[in-house]
A and B are shown apart, each in its own frame.
Chain A
Amino acid sequence: MNHTAMQLLLAGSVVLPLLGALAALLPAPPGLKGKNPDQAVLRHGVTVTGAVLAATLALAAGFDRAHPGRMQATTDLSWIPALGIRLHLGVDGISLPLVVLTALLTFLCALYSYYVMPKGPSPKAFVALILVLEAGTLATFAVQDLMLFFLAFETVLIPMYFLIARWGGAGRRAAAWKFILYTLLGSVVMLLGLLLIGLKSGTFDMVALATDNGPKAQLSHTVQLLAVLTVGIGLAVKSPMWPLHSWLPDAHTAAPTAGSVLLAGVLLKMGTYGFVRIALPITPDGLHTVAPYLAALAAAGILYGSLACLALVRTGARGDLKRLIAYSSVGHMGFVLLGIATMTPTGVNGALFANIAHGLITGLLFFLVGGLKDRLGSTDLDTLAGATGAALYGRAPRFGGLLAFGAVASLGLPGLAGFWGEMLAMFGAFHPAAGLSRPAFLTFMALAGLGTLLTAAYLLLVVRRVCMGGTLKTGPAPQGTAGPAPALPDLARHEYAAWGPLAVLTVLAGLWPAALLGLTNPAVQQLLGGGK
């Protein structure tokens, strides 16, 4: 495919959702009124996100796989010369998978909401906000200018705030405030770091900054350290890194299904992507100093996340399944951060792989929990378990099977997507980059390994409690008296459509990791090698 077409595809997939969001607020044109205005606008959402997904797939098809390390489909226009900000877009092997993942998850959310609209005010605003959110996330992964990155990073805040505060569940107001204030405080501090980089080096261009002997040479070790600390705080809040994660469980629990899926599936990735794209290539010396601490916090996050989940899954803890998956995200993102902190190609590739895998699997799990809530009206684990419980294997076998699939994928069963990323991240920690303390990283690796065990423990407990139902009392069950609970509606057609792709991709990525690693590895080698 020629360059202009690629340029248009990339720019179009960022701009199209914005135009779609504006169009969603206008009344539907005569030919497209549908059954009622709500249906029309939800269909509009599916159409626009579908078009964006098609554009990103075409972009992926046209992507030159022989050179994934090179920026492709680049657009570079002057926008605000006063600040040296350029409209610089482009994708390489690191950002392309994330772009496609974002478009896919947003499309699936729009599709799911078309059938199951979350309870709340008009779907008009819902669709518009989802589209703005998509534009912001896609832009985050596509821009190559530090200030535009910041702009895109901030763009997602307002839509996500409203999605949680208006369509969320219990405690949504407080959760929405916590989300936006935490993230904003982090990102304003990040802005200071980005400005420091830009002012000291004289450019905001991420491609130029990533190359050695370029403007990066102007950044002394002190400046790099200061920059990586400030930028890192903003990214760590978003990722989230323990102990800056405390906004996440509340936000995930309160958010509507589509909100949780997007929050876990793509918004968290913006933080880790920022580490790979900014901290790693632009401030390598600074990151080198900080890396052991980052890895320590990542390992703490892995353990903390799984221990919190184990506490939630206990009988009588009245744990919320949605909250449990949110905490499990803290653990999974810990693996991603650990991989980045090793500063080795293996670790960073693992981190990027775990990013995608987490987006697919946790997206699927949040969808499933949303479906469970629609069926049973609760996500409380004690209600879902035991005699009163869901007993999904009996009452909705396919649904139960998919939930069990999601759970084992999440715990990192070999052959599924969750395995490779975490394995590679730990493998990277086994041989960290030159100059990093090996004993320390070996300790972190061991802790992370312990974390995988704990993760397996709580996820299997979830499967046992939710899918298998209560333990039967010994003795022959009295026939007919307390018979099996009434069957639940099993997977509906729209649920197959919305969740199926995620399950299929989880298997595919697990069986054929080379497809993804082949894209990321050359780009990672290039970033770590200083752009050569």
Chain B
Amino acid sequence: MSQATSLVQSVDWLAIAPPTLAAATGLVVLVADLFLPAARKPLLGWFSTAGLAAAALLLLPLLDGHRRTFCLTGTPQACSYAADHFALAVQFLVLAGALLTALLSIDTVKDHGLPAGEYWFLLLSSAAGAALLPAARDLATLVIALEVASLPAFALVGLRRGDRLSSEAALKFFLSSVAATAVMLLGVSFVYAATGSLHLTRVAHALTALPDPRLATLAGAGVALTLVGFAFKTAAAPFHFWVPDTYVGAPLPIAAYLSVVGKAVGFSGLILVTVQGFPSYAHVWGPALAVLAALTMTTGNAAALRQDPARPRGAIRLLAWSSIGQAGYLLVPIAAAGYAHDPAHAIGATVAYALMYAAVNLGAFAAVALVARTSPANRLADYRGLYHRRPLVALALGFFLLCLAGLPPGVIGLFAKVTVFSAAVDAGLGWLAVVMAVNVVIALYYYLQWTAALFRPAEAPAEGTAGEPADRSRPRIPAALGTALALATVLGVALSGAPQLVLRFAAGALL
């Protein structure tokens, strides 16, 4: 009798409430879509937004950060789900990021005639998976969460029916992602075979003293393959080639979502497997990630430098390449964790940087979405003179770009970079810090070029543009888009005044 009950793991429903609520809202939306008349469909968007907001609020009762659930009945310290501070911080990032994406999407769905029910269901499912991932503490849950976050994203990217770019983007994204998953699953199975466990803590323990020394090669190969799989997901160079085409082809809010939430998923997975799962292989993954970080940031920034202002969709392409560059900075503290005595401390810099990046990058996408309404080509040249057309939007976009560049007035961007630098210097990775310093200068060039264009007087109206409506008839900013932009701006400005709000994650041990 006691044997039978002990097999059933206890479930702490409050701990798993945030991802569960997001998933439940998605299901409700999918069903409600069947019964709502077409005129009422916009309600779905607002309902989904409310669901995401409620899910984010459900993080509040968990703030003490000690809840764990789905623990093994025999050994209560091996749990599959932990709502610790790391998980909560990333879950907040994911849910708030999805919330801003939802606000961005409301008008896109309406204007481009995207299927509302499917769109919102897919977005919420993906967000649920992304919120589950940082709390996952065993390899199986990790892989499942990663797939729940990714699979709906493929469909979202390809949702612009009849658009050749959109389907191509979805296909590229799908193929590279599936390859990553396959490699990762192979790695996970090797690790399982070598250690006999899937729980990260037990894997970590078993890897220090393998049950059979002859399995060392298998374990090593498993570790390497798992990491390669995650490198694909984080779009680290040389696995980055799908990013620009995918962002350009996807609906704009989805590009924003992938750049922020998609990245957060990859990075939290990478942090979990490296720091929690394979700490005994730090001498392998530390240097490997450091090289990967240097390569990624250099590739991303060098390519962003070469964007042609007249190219259609140049703005999104630039943000895509810049997001690869930023991914390089995010990798630096994880690499540093491989060298540090206290790896859990170092990765805090990644979390802090990711939170900053999420706020300002979503803000930049919101401003781009706003400009895209009047100039659908979205060339970089279209941003010239934005200050004279929409002063507030131009100031906000300029602020976001300078935050990304890490220069005052973007104080939070500056200090987020300082934390990353300080993690690298602390770990003795001087060469990586210097590479990053050079990259910061390269990145400044294209961010500042874009910012400067915002304030330059607009070109004299050429013959070709004479047919377009005059600038004076500015269309109103839609409420949802305006809210998203305002939220991101307020967040960015507040963080610039009180950087401690996010940088506190860089101080304490999160895991």
Known: A157-B407, A165-B452, A180-B448. A83 touches B440 (CB 8 A): no
Interface flag for B426 (CB, 8 Å)? yes
Q: Is B374 an interface residue (CB 8 A)?
A: no
Count of A interface residues, CB-CB < 8 Å: 34
Q: Mark B419-447, 1 if CB is under 8 A from A, else 0.
A: 10110011000100110011011001100
User: Which of B419, B440, B455 is close to A184, meaning CB atoms less than 8 Å apart?
Assistant: B440
**Binary B-proximity of A430-468 (CB < 8 A = 1, otherwise 0):** 000000000000000000000000000000000000000
Q: Does B393 contact A (CB under 8 A)?
A: no
The answer to whether B507 has its CB under 8 Å from any CB of chain A is yes
Q: Do A185 and B437 form a contact, CB below 8 Å, given A80-B499, A151-B408, A151-B411?
A: yes
- A82 near B440 (CB under 8 angstroms)? no
Interface of B is mostly: helix
Decide yes or no whether A191 CB sits under 8 A from chain B: yes
Convert B179-217 into 0s and 1s, putting 1 for each residue whose CB lies closer than 8 angstroms to a CB of A.
000000000000000000000000000000000000000
A155 to B402, CA, bound (A): 11
| A452-489 interface bits toward B, Cβ cutoff 8 Å, 1 = contact, 0 = none | 00000000000000000000000000000000000000
- CB of A505 within 8 A of chain B? no
A137 to chain B, nearest CB (A): 13
With contacts A125-B455, A188-B437 taken as known, whether A83 is within 8 angstroms of B415 at the C-beta atoms is yes
Q: Does A192 contact B (CB under 8 A)?
A: yes
Which residues B21-68 have CB closer than 8 A to chain A? none
User: A162 at the A/B interface (Cβ < 8 Å)?
Assistant: yes
Are B408 and A136 neighbours in the complex by a CB distance under 8 Å? yes
Are B503 and A191 in contact, CB atoms less than 8 angstroms apart?
Answer: no
A217: Cβ under 8 A from any B Cβ: no
Q: Are B437 and A158 in contact (CB under 8 A)?
A: no
Taking a contact as CB atoms under 8 Å apart, the answer to whether A199 and B425 are in contact is: yes
Closest CB in chain B relative to A256 CB, distance in Å: 16
Alpha-carbon distance A83/B440, docked complex (angstroms): 20
Distance in angstroms from B293 CB to nearest chain A CB is: 16
The verdict on B457 contacting chain A, using a C-beta distance below 8 Å, is yes
Q: How far is the CA of A180 from the CA of B434 in the complex (A)?
A: 18
Q: Mark A127-165, 1 if CB is under 8 A from B, else 0.
A: 000001000100000000001001100110110011001
B156-193 vs A, Cβ < 8 Å mask (1 yes, 0 no):
00000000000000000000000000000000000000
Q: Does B407 contact A158, Cβ atoms closer than 8 Å?
A: yes
Q: A162-B452, A165-B452, A196-B425 are in contact. Are A83 and B507 (CB under 8 A)?
A: yes
Residue in B411, B441, B506 whose beta carbon sits within 8 Å of that of A82 in the complex: B506
Q: Does B409 contact A (CB under 8 A)?
A: yes
The verdict on B500 contacting chain A, using a C-beta distance below 8 Å, is yes
Q: Which residues of B contact A147 (CB under 8 A)?
A: 415, 418
Chain A residues with Cβ below 8 Å from B499 are 79-80, 82
Q: Is A189 part of the binding interface, using a Cβ–Cβ cutoff of 8 Å?
A: yes
Instruction: Judge if B504 is at the interface, Cβ distance under 8 Å.
Output: yes
Closest to B352 in A: A82
- B437 near A82: Cβ-Cβ < 8 Å: no
- For residue A317, CB closer than 8 A to chain B, the reply is no
Is B444 in contact with A80, judged by CB distance below 8 angstroms? no
B155 at the interface (CB under 8 A from A): no
Q: Would B448 and A154 count as touching, CB distance under 8 A?
A: no
A121 at the interface (CB under 8 A from B): yes
Question: For the complex, is B414 an interface residue (Cβ under 8 Å from A)?
Answer: yes
A82 surroundings in chain B (CB, below 8 A): 352, 419, 499-500, 503-507
CB contact between A158 and one of B402, B419, B505 (< 8 Å): that residue: B402
How far, in whole Å, are A196 and B437 apart by their CA atoms in the complex?
14
Report A467-517 residues with CB < 8 Å from chain B CB: none
- Contact: B426 with A181, CB < 8 Å? no
Bound CA–CA A161/B398 (angstroms): 14
Q: Are A155 and B425 in contact, with the CB atoms below 8 A? A: no
| CB interface residues, B 101-123, toward A, < 8 Å | none
Which among B414, B448, B457, B499 has the highest number of chain A CB atoms within 10 Å?
B448
On whether the beta carbons of A192 and B419 are closer than 8 Å, the reply is no
A191 touches B421 (CB 8 A): yes
Q: How far is the CA of A181 from the CA of B507 in the complex (A)?
A: 31
Least Cβ–Cβ distance between B386 and chain A, in angstroms:
14
Contact indicator A181/B415 (Cβ below 8 Å): no
Nearest Cβ distance between residue B48 and chain A, in whole angstroms? Answer: 34
Collect the chain A residues with CB atoms within 8 Å of residue B500's CB.
79-82
Give every chain B residue within 8 A of A155 (Cβ-Cβ): 408-409
Which A residues are in CB contact (< 8 Å) with B455?
A: 125, 162, 166
A83: B residues at CB distance < 8 A: 415, 418-419, 422, 503, 506-507
Chain B min CB distance to A48 (Å): 18
Q: Closest approach, in angstroms, between the C-beta of A166 and any C-beta of chain B?
A: 8
Pairwise interchain contact A195-B425, C-beta atoms closer than 8 A: yes
The answer to whether A180 touches B444, judged by C-beta atoms less than 8 angstroms apart, is yes
Contact between A80 and B503, CB atoms less than 8 A apart: yes
Assembled-state Cα–Cα distance A154/B405 (Å) = 12
Q: Which of A387-436 contact B (CB under 8 A)?
A: none
- Flag if A154 contacts B422 (CB, 8 Å): no
Closest-by-CB residue of B relative to A198 is B422
CA distance A483 to B295 in the complex (A): 71
Partner of B507, one of A81, A157, A162, A196: A81
7 contacts between A and B (CB under 8 A): A125-B455, A154-B408, A158-B448, A184-B407, A184-B441, A185-B438, A189-B434
Extra contacts besides A147-B415, A195-B425 (15): CB < 8 Å: A80-B500, A82-B499, A82-B500, A83-B415, A83-B422, A83-B507, A151-B414, A155-B409, A180-B444, A181-B445, A184-B407, A188-B441, A192-B430, A198-B422, A199-B425
Interface residues of A (CB under 8 A from B): 79-83, 85, 121, 125, 132, 136, 147, 150-151, 154-155, 157-158, 161-162, 165-166, 177, 180-181, 184-185, 188-189, 191-192, 195-196, 198-199
Which 9 A-B residue pairs are closest in the complex by CB-CB distance? A82-B507, A82-B503, A188-B437, A155-B408, A195-B425, A185-B441, A80-B500, A82-B504, A195-B422
